[in-house]
Amino acid sequence: MVVPGLSAESPIDHGIRLGMARSDVVGILGKPDSVDVRDGAQLLGYHAYFEDDPRVSLYYDARYEFMDDLLVAVSISDGE
């Protein structure tokens, strides 16, 4: 689902907001499961599976995209 009109004031998950510094996001979520660089953007990935976390129905996959160390996009999928 794409959320139109998401602003820096809109909370995304765990109080994370667009425009936050990468270090602040990592401070909230912990060490990412993956780190990639694509087209100048740094992508941090967080993943969980139902075997590991009872809150997850199938899998949880979240990507946080940073440009110039600031959060510019978030993609979250819950596997449903």
Q: What pLDDT sits at residue 7?
A: 60
Could you tell me the strand order of the sheet in which 41-49 lies?
34-38, 41-49, 59-67, 70-77
> Can you read off the two tokens belonging to residue 56?
């997850």
pTM of the model: 0.77
Q: Which residues of the chain have pLDDT under 70?
A: 1-13, 49-50, 53-59, 79-80
Tens-place pLDDT, residues 7-20 = 666 666 678 899 99
* Spatial CA neighbour of 73 closest among 15, 35, 17: 17
Q: How far is CA 56 from the centre of its chain?
A: 16
pLDDT score for 48: 77
List the structure tokens of 32: 């990412």
pLDDT score for 80: 60
